[in-house]
Structure 1
Amino acid sequence: MKKRTSPILAAILACGLSGTANAAAVFWSFDTQTDGLGSYATAISAIDGFASASSVTRTGTVQATNHLGGAAFTDFEDTFWAGSGGTVSPGHSLTWNGNSINNSFSVTLNTTGLESINIRLDVRSAGTSPLSAFSSLTYAIGGSEAVTIDTVDLTFATGSSFGEWSADLSSIVAINNQSSVTLTWNIATIPGGASLRVDNLQITAAAIPEPATLASVLGGAVALAVLCTKRRRASANAPVRS
């Protein structure tokens, strides 16, 4: 016989599931057009839920002039952005060429009311002795000193195709509910004959549950525990049928 889910349990599960959904997202395509035939741009392509976010800033001594080449991707708004998957049109991407030093890129976010930050991007590291990892990923609150995040895997695949890199920052509670958080990816010197491209940067976050929501979930859990206890007692005291 199929067991029915208690209405209280159903409500608790609903609250829990809604709390894990993305409440905010921001996306940078590095192109002004979805067909990949626009111009290179570091401005935000789409944003929802974040109070604010910056354009992508970057450093490096040998950067491409046209930044052609990008990976195809469908963003959080279900918008498709075309990309060649290589070094030619369509698509644009952040590009560093061989012998570039002091390389990095950064974004600044307002995470007020948000937690569980997650990041994904596409990276293409190709050529002779290409890099296989970012040097570091750091965060800075406001104008404070940067702090290295040592809980994420900085490595990525190398080769002529773009591959996805992602990081779950939900354990970094210091970046939750802040008016200004700057994330910076530091990159080692690009070997001569190699290049590095970064495309389709997307950051998502979940809403911090309000006290009323937490109280509701806790109250439901207590009520469910009481109900289960009563049912067990009733079952234990029920007469045994012969």
Structure 2
Amino acid sequence: MESDQIAYLAGPRHMRGSGHPRLGFVLVLLAALVLGGWGAWRTFAPQPPNAGEQLKQQASRIDQLEQQVATLTRSDQISRQANSELQSALGERDEEIASLRADIAFYERFVGATGQRRGLTVHELKLVPQRDPQLWHVVATLTQNMNRGAVSRGRLQLIVEASEGGRMHKLDWTELRQQKDAPGLDYSFKYFEQVEGDIVLPAGIKPVRVIARLLPQSGAPVEQSFTWGDAVSSMPAIGADAR
């Protein structure tokens, strides 16, 4: 009887020790069943009766929004470009207005009843560099309003004072034109005129001053001097020809 009690007591321990693997298997099986049931429910659960229609509507809405974004982006680009072109056009108009105002002031000084009387003069001399570093384009604006209605005729010549090797010397018109007995630039006007021509400077010289010499058909020559820097940096002269 005592041995039966010992066997009885030993039995449950043995069963409990060998029951752990079975318990783990049961838990794994239950977890698999739960996950499988959840997946099946997700797959086979009844969907809303209009789920397909909702998906189509959402896809259509997405397409509409993407199209709106593309349209707005393009519209913004066009607006920016148009604004840039407008600003550029406004800048050009401002420059044109300023130039016209300057022309009006110029005309009033020489044609207006209250304009100051002046004889034949070089109102402005401009030298424009060309691609050839020795070639320069000359633009001279000549004016006179002393004799209203009278026509001034004659020729314009230039003389350039330059430094070469530390020494100053003058280049006359024939040297600047590279032509023996080169005639001057003809002019003929009542109030003002712009005359143009080209000169060539020898290589290696440093121009310092330019002298404009007017040779009218009647009367004494008129000379005016301009520093080379002022002539090169001067503003464009009046372009109209009022003969």
Whether these two folds match at TM > 0.5 is no
Structure with the greater relative contact order (CA < 8 A, sep ≥ 6): 1 or 2? 1
Structure with bigger helix share is 2
TM-score by length of 2: 0.31
TM-score by length of 1: 0.31
Instruction: Please tell me whether Structure 1 or Structure 2 has the larger radius of gyration of its CA atoms.
Output: 2
